[in-house]
Chains A and B, each alone.
Chain A
């Protein structure tokens, strides 16, 4: 196995791509099972053991359904909409650092699709592009309900992206960098005090910012209680009213990938990314007590870190679903009022607070 570094990196990119799809696939299953459990049911359990093949059955169903184009629809845009939603959703997971480096001899593999120093901006850009997929789909459907859903999606995204960006600024004031890998590394520390690992996570410095970011993430991914773009009771199905077959599947899939990415971003920004408590103690113990080389010990730490990050991501995905089956949907004016008159002032207050705390040296 002497792959060049680029080959390894290609493998990582491929793995990230595959993992995003796999996790999105099984999110559909998890959503149904969690929904069922929260409602005292058992959920899908017919296809395979525990119903684990249900996503496959759903995919077969989606692919074999009739491909329908509404009359008067712009065919090219109608196809382009879901594609764009899917592509942007998939692209945004490229910059997320899923782990630290793995080192085999001279080969250093970064467990990250691509490391760029504007990673956070890239994610933001991709997520906001995602709303174009919804807009185009809603417009091309030639249906007023779809159009209303699409307009709602767009205005909702704009409103909440502001508060989200302002919440993010407070994080950037602490970290001083946009690179997600740098932000993660700053949240680790080789300290004597074991719990310092957790106290170094940004959630400890930015509790208010995290809550704002979390609420906005729900709005950005069009999840309950902010799922007004696809509000069934008012808009039939919102922007995907006219969609059938796998084009509908792509929209639903894109939503789950967005949830995955939002969970990953929140884990990285606020919950230490691939850092986990006692990681340096574990490394030192592996070196001193088990007699491993430092590089090998570091690789083990990295792999545990990857598992840890996925644990955090899954916890967030669970939280997304937990919220969905707990809270009812907001009314549209409530949604807008929450965004503009509560979250944005709160986020600005958070920036001021963070600035003050940094000035007086209370947080680094």
Chain B
């Protein structure tokens, strides 16, 4: 039969030499291999203390961004929910009242905005669909394990980032140093 590839090895069954039959040289060879591994770098990552470095394009837990004045960027247009292939996003839109201009950037905003993290497949299509640069998948946070299913439905309380400049997500439009300083004085 013709060989299918050039990688076939012809094995000869030769009688073992004395060194092979004595078995000890092979044992020493094996011992030297394991001893080499003894001093090798360990593959273990001691998890709670050490974490595996994330890729910069990793798509983790979502964040709803605020703008440079601390207002929510989301305008509840629903494009993210439409784009979502897993149908994980639901929202209720509402009209901005008078006096809420410092809370919401646009005249329409999301009264509630929920992402079901059990449905979400972290594809990032919501991020691509968003015209207001409001939703991003963070590169450094993963959805943590929970005991109850309803704890996986993330509302605005857990999705919207904090106002303070230093706690903001590293994804999306970032504050310039001047904007950050201004926001800080506003907060103080």
Q: Which A residues have a C-beta under 8 Å from some C-beta of B?
A: 34, 36-42, 45, 211, 322-323, 325-327
Query: What are 6 A-B interface contacts by the 8 Å CB criterion?
Result: A37-B42, A38-B38, A40-B42, A40-B43, A323-B27, A326-B31
> Which of A39, A45, A211, A327 makes the CB contact (< 8 A) with B37?
A39
Residue of chain A at shortest CB distance from B21: A342
Known contacts: A322-B34, A322-B35. The answer to whether A41 contacts B42 by CB under 8 A is yes
Known A38-B38, A41-B42, A42-B46; further 12 A-B contacts with Cβ < 8 A = A34-B38, A39-B37, A40-B42, A40-B44, A41-B44, A42-B44, A322-B31, A322-B35, A326-B30, A326-B31, A326-B34, A327-B30
B10 located at the interface, meaning its Cβ lies under 8 Å from any Cβ of chain A in the complex: no
Q: Which residues of chain B are within 8 angstroms of A326 by Cβ–Cβ distance?
A: 27, 30-31, 33-34
Q: B34, A325: Cβ atoms under 8 Å? A: yes
- CB A87 to nearest CB in B, in angstroms, measures 34
Q: Which B residues have a C-beta under 8 Å from some C-beta of A?
A: 24, 27, 30-31, 33-35, 37-38, 40-44, 46
Q: Which residues of chain B are within 8 angstroms of A327 by Cβ–Cβ distance?
A: 27, 30
- CB B23 to nearest CB in A, in angstroms, measures 9
Q: Which residues of chain A are within 8 angstroms of B41 by Cβ–Cβ distance?
A: 40
Known contacts: A323-B31, A326-B30. The answer to whether A42 contacts B42 by CB under 8 A is yes
A40–B34 Cα gap in the complex (Å)?
10
Q: A37, B38: Cβ atoms under 8 Å? A: yes
4 shortest interchain CB distances as A-B pairs: A42-B44, A326-B34, A38-B34, A326-B30
With most chain A CB atoms within 10 A of its CB, the pick from B33, B37, B41 is B37
Q: Which residues of chain A are within 8 angstroms of B43 by Cβ–Cβ distance?
A: 40-41
- CB A287 to nearest CB in B, in angstroms, measures 41
- CB B174 to nearest CB in A, in angstroms, measures 38
